[in-house]
Homo-oligomer: A and B are copies of this chain.
Amino acid sequence: MSGNRFGTLFQYHTWGESHGVAIGVVVDGVPPRIPLSEADIQTYLDQRKPGQSRFTTQRQEADQVQILSGVFEGMTTGTPISLMIQNTDHRSKDYKEIKDKFRPGHADYTYHEKYGIRDYRGGGRASARETACRVAAGAIARKVLETQIEQSVSVRGAVVQVGPHTINPKNWNWDHVGENPFWSPDPEATKLWTEFLDERRKAGSSVGAVVEIHASGVPVGLGAPVYDKLDADIAKAMMSINATKAVEIGSGFEAVALGGEENADEIRSVEGEAEFQSNNAGGILGGISSGQDIVVRVAFKPTSSILTPRKTIDISGQETDIITKGRHDPCVGLRGTPVCEAMMACVLADHWLRYKAQCL
């Protein structure tokens, strides 16, 4: 109810501010007897960790996760798994000078108006630092999918657009994604984006990005119509990530211009199994997974913290200007990829348990 929890049966509750002592997450509802170590989680946290290239914030965070409960002799026990990550590099002084000003594009104004108080240091609770907790929870969600579902479920993401520059789908290469700082699946795009982002970064500006997530091997039957449709829950999950402004499933906005005969995916039978002839649906029909790949695209707005001065007001209502110094990602969408993946894994793990409860 408080807005800091996600999920229903596989669920987690996050806490912590950008510049507090620590951030953390309590992951609950996890089935017992699943092997789980800190290393299993750290792998994914390291993918999201800042400071790894010149295209992400230079804040240096070890982001070392610690398991405080719920795991005994290397196995989950079915009790709450409490994870904590210490905040180590929090230069709060960077924020002193802006503590009374509302940064355009940020949550400063709305937090101030809603709560009448805000931890202004690094955005406090509104900081994208909170997404580390999502990634940690996502790592456990993956373990749930891996151990509970017979077939292999994979959740992978890539950046398909940076600023106005899209990839060429024909060049798609999953192997390339891990080899460049942009999560780009297209080596051609990687080159272009390097130049483009360097230029924007030097200009003190920022850009947006589109992340595309693919979930393969998802069993047919996940999703609880009509309000907790799988796509509805995915949309909520993605739109809860900092800086996201849009989400589409399958052919998304492009479906609008299609005729019904082009859009509805035909079905053939292969060895007695349904085989769809296209995937405009993005793997979901009537809010329930169809067994096809689930395909989702998420739009991230450009980072709002930029070096160009911007007009704003302060907490007393006076007009002023602001430059957000700090250390910021020129394209926050890049590091959004592991976060989107994590959210997808959490949604799937949650709906898997819901499916078990009612239908198995």
With the chains together, A106 CA to B263 CA distance in Å? 11
B116 touches A33 (CB 8 A): yes
A78 touches B246 (CB 8 A): no
Contact partner of A124 (CB less than 8 A), chosen from B72, B106, B224, is B72
Judge whether A118 is part of the interface by a CB distance below 8 angstroms.
yes
With the chains together, A3 CA to B305 CA distance in Å? 39
B32 touches A13 (CB 8 A): no
A239 touches B232 (CB 8 A): yes
Judge whether A184 is part of the interface by a CB distance below 8 angstroms.
no
Judge whether A8 is part of the interface by a CB distance below 8 angstroms.
yes
With the chains together, A339 CA to B248 CA distance in Å? 19
| Interface size range on A against B | 35 or more
A261 touches B124 (CB 8 A): no
A114 touches B288 (CB 8 A): yes
A353 touches B360 (CB 8 A): no
B200 touches A302 (CB 8 A): no
A264 touches B16 (CB 8 A): no
Near B by CB (< 8 A), chain A positions 258-276 give: 258-269, 272-274
A261 touches B310 (CB 8 A): yes
The 10 A-B pairs of least Cβ separation, nearest first, read: A107-B286, A105-B264, A3-B224, A246-B248, A208-B256, A236-B236, A110-B288, A206-B260, A2-B28, A357-B357
Contact partner of A9 (CB less than 8 A), chosen from B1, B102, B232, B312, is B1
Residues of chain B contacted by A237 (CB below 8 angstroms) = 232
Judge whether A111 is part of the interface by a CB distance below 8 angstroms.
yes
Binds B, one of A18-26, A41-49, A57-65, A185-193: A18-26
